[in-house]
């Protein structure tokens, strides 16, 4: 019997959408399994207390537990580097691999790679976050050459509450930024229900819809050497030939230099 490909994912403790949606996307692919490890994240804000949730120490301890399951890749399935700075995820990947010997990827670094490969010049940004967090994301993504020209946010702070937003509401926000004008939509939050809305909205509007949970799975599969195109019914991200055959989706060769 061939051993399955095991994907490891680091998950905010109060997320409830990420795990079932990831498993739903992998349904019908029995040779790929996904395994999760949690660390404490309960609110998204710019206060010192909220920002300390993403210190590397707790994340690395959770990553070491995933390594016990002999996973092929460890993904940080979260979007904190969007407001903390993308260099945080670059460093985190290095530290995870250094501590565990396992390849690492993250949601935000995968977004950077996907959006650059798509050549997106106008990004529609949809999040559940507060205005100040949204402004940080727009500034950090803009510094990476990823201009967010249309945005919607829900002004929520409690991380658990993000998954309580119905998919139909997320779909409404996506369609609003598409009407404002954008080349691609990024639903930035791994506890938000955007993945299921991607394919029907893409059929209707012809604009790529990139959900954070889906982007993280795409990056994890690519890093583990599994063709993302095996995922069907969840949007063009997995089928787009421009995104196929990516061995290291979080390549930092185009990244800015940070002190």
- pLDDT band at 190; cut points 50, 70, 90: very high
Mean pLDDT over residues 35-47, rounded?
A: 97
Does position 24 have pLDDT exceeding 70, yes or no? yes
Same fold, 5-110+213-243 and 119-211: yes
- What is the pLDDT, as a whole number, of residue 244? 72
Least confident of 127-136, 158-167, 243-252: 243-252
Question: Per CATH, which fold does 5-110+213-243 belong to?
Answer: Rossmann fold (3.40.50)
% of the chain residues with pLDDT over 70: 93
For the cut 50, the answer to whether the pLDDT of residue 1 exceeds it is: no
Q: What is the spatial distance between Cα 136 and Cα 41, in angstroms, rounded to a whole number?
A: 19
Taking the C-alpha atoms of residue 188 and residue 112, their distance in angstroms, rounded to an integer, is 12
Q: Is the pLDDT of residue 251 over 60?
A: no
b/e per residue, 54-83, with b = 16+ CB within 10 A?
A: beeebbbebbeebbeeebbbbbbbbbbbbb
Q: What is the mean pLDDT of residues 172-190?
A: 98
Give the tens place of pLDDT for each residue, 47-61. 999 999 999 999 999
SS3 call for 232: coil
Q: Which two tokens stand for residue 233?
A: 């019914």
CATH of domain 119-211: 3.40.50.1860
What predicted TM-score, i.e. pTM, was given to this entire model? 0.93
> What average pLDDT does the structure give for the chain?
93
pLDDT of 240 higher than 90:
no
For residue range 106-116, what is the model confidence (pLDDT) as tens digits?
999 999 999 99
Tell me the percentage of the chain whose pLDDT exceeds 90: 90
In the predicted model, what is the mean pLDDT of residues 19-48?
A: 96
Look at residue 80 in the predicted model and tell me its pLDDT. Answer: 97
Calculate mean pLDDT across residues 52-77: 96
Q: Pick the residue with more confidence: 75 or 1?
A: 75
Between residues 203 and 258, the one the model is more confident about:
203
| Per-residue pLDDT at 255 exceeds 90 | no
Question: What is the Cα–Cα distance from 98 to 43, expressed in whole angstroms?
Answer: 29
* pLDDT at 169 exceeding the cut of 70: yes
pLDDT at 3: 79
Q: Which residue has the higher pLDDT, 51 or 241?
A: 51
For 151, the 3-state DSSP assignment is strand
pLDDT at 184 over 70: yes
The DSSP secondary structure of 29-83, one letter per residue, reads -TTEEEEEEEE---B--SSHHHHHTT-HHHHHHHHHHHHTTT-SEEEE---THHH
Give residue 28's pLDDT: 87
- Domains of the chain, by residue range, sit at 5-110+213-243, 119-211
């Amino acid at each position: 019997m061939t051993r399955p490909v095991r994907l490891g994912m680091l998950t905010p403790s109060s997320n409830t959408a990420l795990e079932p949606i990831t498993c739903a996307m992998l349904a019908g692919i029995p040779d790929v399994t996904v395994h999760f490890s949690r660390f404490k994240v309960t609110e998204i804000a710019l206060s010192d207390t909220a920002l300390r949730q993403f210190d590397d120490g707790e994340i690395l301890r959770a990553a070491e537990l995933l390594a016990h399951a002999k996973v092929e890749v460890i993904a940080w399935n979260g979007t904190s580097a969007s407001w903390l700075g993308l260099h945080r995820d670059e460093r985190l990947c290095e530290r995870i691999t250094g501590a565990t010997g396992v390849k690492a990827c993250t949601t935000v670094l995968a977004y950077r790679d996907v959006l650059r490969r798509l050549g997106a010049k106008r990004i529609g940004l949809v999040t559940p976050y507060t205005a100040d967090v949204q402004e940080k994301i727009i500034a950090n993504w803009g510094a990476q050459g990823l201009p967010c020209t249309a945005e919607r946010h829900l002004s929520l702070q409690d991380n658990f509450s993000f998954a309580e937003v119905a998919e139909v509401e997320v779909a409404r926000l996506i369609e609003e930024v598409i009407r404002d004008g954008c080349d691609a939509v990024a639903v930035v939050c791994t506890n938000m229900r955007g993945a299921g809305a991607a394919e029907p909205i893409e059929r209707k509007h012809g604009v790529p819809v990139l959900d954070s949970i889906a982007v993280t799975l795409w990056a994890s599969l690519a890093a583990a050497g599994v063709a993302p195109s095996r995922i069907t019914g969840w949007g063009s991200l997995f089928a787009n030939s421009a995104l196929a055959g990516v061995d290291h989706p979080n390549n930092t060769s185009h990244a800015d230099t940070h002190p």
